[in-house]
Amino acid sequence: MMKASGFPYVVPMLLLSVAFFATPFAVLVGFSFAGPGGATLDHYARFFGDAFNFRVLVNTARLGLETVVGTTVLGIPIALLYWHGGRNLRQVLIFLTLIPMLTSNVVRTFAWIVILGRQGPISETLMALGLTGMPTSLLFTELGLLMAMCQIDLPLIILPLIAILSRTPVQLTEAAQVSGAGPWRILVTVLLPLMLPGLLAGWILVFASTSSSFVTQAVIGGARNVYVPQLIYREVGTLFDWPLASAIAVVLLLSTGCLLVALTMISRHRRLVGHA
């Protein structure tokens, strides 16, 4: 009865989903099978038959996983600081987390050009510490790209963690201390299981964002570090091979979708839900 009464409110969302997601995706899939004589798998065979394309796909997945690890290492301490902090500290942390998200991704990417460049603060710090005798640039390197992606996607993992911890009483750690647990044991056996649903949600968002971040990959990674979005752009904008570009896009969507489904299934596991 409740579902029948609520259905009209869902209709606009369904229409928008069909118009702006399902239909374009169907067209994309149709292009990926398009051939002179009808439907064909040649474009997928060309993609997987080229070792370079397969290496690009692996590099894209690796960049997404490395960014997930980096944002997790940075995001957990910030979320715990928010959890234990007072009202003013919490407001400052929320402000510093949301401000980058309100700035265009293009602006943030170009800001990293200055930071990673030869005259940037990283190069100046390394020279001041005596770690290098000449200006060093991290532009067009995987390390520089990873640093930029971690900063850009960090809010995507901090916010789910804060949402989880905001519902958890701070006295929980005090109770664990009274029971004799040390800081690391509290983190591993109490806090991480509590934060796991937030971590899974953040991992999904970070991996999807990193894998499809064309601007940052192209500007910071440069021409030597090629990832799937750049490969699609090359096929569409330079070679005008739309069917192959569609096939590559479908492969990227499916590979990302498989990971998202796996993480979603893990997040719904009864044991994990019980911990949360």
Mean pLDDT of the chain: 87
Token reading at 87: 């009202």
What torsion do the CA atoms of 186, 190, 192, 197 make, to the nearest 10 degrees?
-160
For residue 77, count other CB atoms closer than 10 A to its CB: 9
Spatial separation of the C-alpha atoms in residues 26 and 187, rounded to whole Å: 46
Indicate the pTM of the whole model: 0.85
Comparing 52 with 261, the larger pLDDT belongs to 52
Q: If you average pLDDT over residues 50-55, what whole number do you get?
A: 89
Least confident of 110-114, 123-127, 253-257: 253-257
Q: If you average pLDDT over residues 139-167, what whole number do you get?
A: 92
Comparing 182 with 157, the larger pLDDT belongs to 157
Comparing 170 with 33, the larger pLDDT belongs to 33
Token reading at 238: 């330079």
* Residue 276's pLDDT band (cuts 50, 70, 90): very low
Longest dimension (CA), the chain: 74
